[in-house]
Amino acid sequence: MAVKDYIRQRFMPHIWCPGCGHGIVMSNLIRAIENLRLKKNDIVMVTGIGCSSRISGYLDFHTLHTIHGRALAFATGVKLSRPDLTLIVPMGDGDALAIGGNHFIHAARRNIDITAIIMNNNIYGMTGGQFSPLSGYGKIATTAPFGNIDEAFDIVQLAQAAGASFVARTTTYHVTSMIKILEEAIEHKGFSVVEILSQCPTYFGSKNKMGDAVDILNYFKAQTTSIGSKKKKENPELIERGVFIKKVRPEYCDEYEKVVKKAQKAKGS
């Protein structure tokens, strides 16, 4: 299928600002799904609230645009009801890790077979540029005019500690590897987390004097490196990209099926 066959033309134009990274993520997600030969009827996309969450409306899957922070809780209800369906949950950094932080760690702990994509642009864009739990110390935002005193989460470490069985990071600059990582994440059985550094030139970029969209993409190129690379050893400040963890761990819906068998056996005896 062509990329356009995954897009709901009726929904266009989209709301994303010129230069926003979210369109790059959407385009690559479509390519990953196309490469995996998944059927559109078998995909349920659940999102919360925020710029990134609008992605669900644009794509021609079963789409559930929910309330702020709770996408993973809705997705858990869908997945447990229909384990045969492929669940993809794109979220923003605020949606996933501030208001939705609790659902994020518990979905990871259950290792339920859902792919969580965190489009991390370090800011609340839809509401006009307030700092998020991923903005970082010293950054400027409309609610941190004197510099942010909140430290940022490390999504990769958080997801691993909470029990996610697939954890990866990439950026909107690294398009080819993003497609591969998304494919791997969707194929992986268990809770998969993909953090994608995405640019917000409108708010985070402009407030923090990072230049335009191209400048931020170049920043992603310069400030990130492959996991365990020589560059990382030379400059520990660099952010690592790639697949951090990919392991086999009992998946929640599979475990639930065992409960059903036990319950039915106990009832029969």
Partner 1 sequence: MNNRIRFLQGNEACVEAALYAGLDFFAGYPITPSSEIAELLARRLPEKGGKFIQMEDEIASMCAIIGASLTGLKSMTATSGPGFSLKQEAIGYAIMTEVPCVIVNVQRGGPSTGLPTGVSQGDVMQTRWGTHGDHAIVTLTASNHQDLFAITVEAFNIAETYRTPVILLFDEIIGHMREKLILPEPGDIPLVERLRTSVKEGTDYHPYLPREDGRLPMSDFGGVHRYNVTGLVHDMWGFPSDNPKIAYGLMRHLVDKIEGHVHEMTYLKEYYMDDADCILISYGSSARSALHLVENRRARGERMGLLELQTLWPFPVNAVRERCEQAKHVLVVEMNMGQVMQEVKKALGEPDKVFLANSLDGIFITPTDIQNILRLIQGKGV
- d(CA 126, CA 129) in angstroms, rounded, equals 7
Q: How far is the CB of 258 from partner 1 (least distance, A)?
A: 10
Considering only the stretches 178-186, 189-197, 243-251, 259-267, report the one whose residues sit in contact with partner 1 under the rule CB under 8 A. 259-267
According to CB under 8 A, which one of 77, 128, 147, 228 is a site residue for partner 1?
77
According to CB under 8 A, which one of 231, 247, 249, 262 is a site residue for partner 1?
262
208 binds partner 1 (CB under 8 A): no
Stretch (H or E) spanning 123: strand 123-124
Q: Are 27 and 3 in contact (CB under 8 A)?
A: yes
Considering only the stretches 143-151, 162-170, 175-183, 260-268, report the one whose residues sit in contact with partner 1 under the rule CB under 8 A. 260-268
Tell me whether residue 100 or residue 201 sits nearer to partner 1 (CB atom): 100
Number of residues that bind partner 1 (CB under 8 A): 42
Residues 122-157, buried b or exposed e (16+ Cβ, 10 A)? bbbbbeebbbbbbbbeebbbeebeeebeeebbebbe
16 binds partner 1 (CB under 8 A): no
According to CB under 8 A, which one of 5, 42, 212, 255 is a site residue for partner 1?
42
Q: How far is the CB of 58 from partner 1 (least distance, A)?
A: 9
Mode of pairing for the β-strands spanning 114-120 and 123-124: unpaired
**CA angle in degrees (0–180, nearest 5) for 62-65-68:** 150
Sequential DSSP letters for 15-61? -PPTT-SHHHHHHHHHHHHHHHT--GGGEEEEE-SSTGGGHHHHBSS
259 binds partner 1 (CB under 8 A): yes
Residue numbers at the binding site for partner 1 (CB under 8 A): 8, 10-11, 40-42, 44, 46, 56-57, 60-67, 70, 73-82, 84-85, 102-103, 106, 256, 259-260, 262-264, 266-267
